């Protein structure tokens, strides 16, 4: 992803001819090294080589006063890919009465379609923290798929239909004050009674990190659930 180039290369060769994309490629590779994503080993005859593909996306608007990070083009592409360009719009990504649980008697649906949809939405959360919770919730139900799960995922797409241009705005004049927020439910998962906590951090008015996660702990009270969320936020 780059803020500066208006071109989206179709191949690695095209990207290497653009100075801005070359910088981004090196930054991405350095991230892999810093996070120990891979280990280089000698190739043997028994190894099967799995190919990789670079995907270049311009998530780009910048001026002297601010940066706006958006994936509006990608959002429209996945609406088209999953044939929901003409769907009705939803005002929220998830219904307030929705409560996902194991559906033992529901109608089975195509696993490939559901998993492809969730994978596409997870990528979109890079600039859309407002869908993080419900997308992560849907990602938990990727086996023995039922129609009720797909209905929740489609609700997210209906929400995106009306908010495709929404993104993250970073003004240059914002004050440099780090603020963190956290929240959690209590025994929200019916299966294991674990809590789901969410956190976000702002540097001034700029949102810089966020996550939604089902914790590995079973809280015995609402107070303990809040402490777990705060600890996760501070970490």
Is there a single domain that holds both residue 87 and residue 107? yes
Look at residue 138 and give its three-state secondary structure.
Answer: helix
Is there a single domain that holds both residue 70 and residue 166? yes
| Domain presence at residue 121 | yes
Boundary residue ending a domain (124, 154, 170): 170
| Domain presence at residue 226 | yes
Is there a single domain that holds both residue 106 and residue 152? yes
Overall number of domains in the chain: 3
| Domain presence at residue 149 | yes
pLDDT of residue 150: 86
pLDDT of residue 83: 92
Is there a single domain that holds both residue 224 and residue 194? yes
Could you tell me which of 206, 18, 56 has the C-alpha nearest to residue 127? 206
Boundary residue ending a domain (151, 170, 189): 170
Model-level pTM greater than 0.85? no
Is there a single domain that holds both residue 82 and residue 165? yes
Q: What is the pLDDT of residues 97-130, one digit of tens each?
A: 776 767 666 777 788 888 899 999 998 988 898 8
Is there a single domain that holds both residue 75 and residue 162? yes
Q: How far apart are the first and last CA of the chain?
A: 27
Is there a single domain that holds both residue 142 and residue 197? no
Share of the chain above pLDDT 90, in %: 15
Is there a single domain that holds both residue 146 and residue 216? no
Judged against a pLDDT cut of 80, whether residue 139 lies above it is answered with: yes
pLDDT of residue 109: 78
Domain of residue 81, residue span: 66-170
Give residue 80's pLDDT band: very low, low, confident or very high (50, 70, 90).
Answer: very high
Most confident of 2-6, 122-126, 172-176, 213-217: 122-126
- The answer to whether residues 191 and 198 touch, using CB atoms and an 8 Å cutoff, is no
Judged against a pLDDT cut of 60, whether residue 4 lies above it is answered with: no
Give residue 208's pLDDT band: very low, low, confident or very high (50, 70, 90).
Answer: confident
């Amino acid at each position: 992803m780059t803020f500066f180039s208006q071109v989206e290369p179709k191949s690695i060769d095209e990207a290497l001819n653009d100075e801005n994309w070359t910088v981004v490629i090196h930054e991405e590779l350095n991230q892999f090294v810093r996070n120990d994503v891979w280990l280089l080993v000698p190739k043997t005859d028994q190894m099967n080589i799995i190919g990789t593909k670079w995907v270049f996306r311009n998530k780009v608007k910048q001026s002297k006063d601010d940066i706006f990070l958006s994936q509006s083009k990608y959002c429209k592409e996945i609406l088209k890919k999953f044939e929901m360009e003409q769907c009705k719009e939803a005002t929220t990504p998830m219904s307030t009465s929705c409560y996902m649980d194991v559906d033992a008697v529901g109608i089975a649906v195509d696993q490939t379609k559901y998993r492809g949809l969730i994978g596409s939405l997870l990528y979109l959360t890079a600039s859309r923290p407002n869908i993080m919770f419900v997308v992560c919730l849907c990602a938990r139900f990727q086996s023995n798929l039922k129609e009720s799960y797909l209905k929740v995922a489609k609700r997210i797409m209906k929400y995106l239909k009306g908010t495709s241009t929404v993104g993250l705005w970073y003004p240059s004049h914002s004050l440099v004050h780090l603020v963190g927020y956290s929240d959690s439910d209590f025994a929200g998962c019916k299966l294991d009674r674990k809590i789901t906590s969410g956190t976000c951090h702002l540097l001034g008015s700029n949102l810089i990190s966020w996550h939604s996660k089902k914790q590995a702990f079973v809280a015995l009270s609402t107070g303990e659930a809040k402490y777990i969320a705060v600890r996760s936020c501070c970490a």
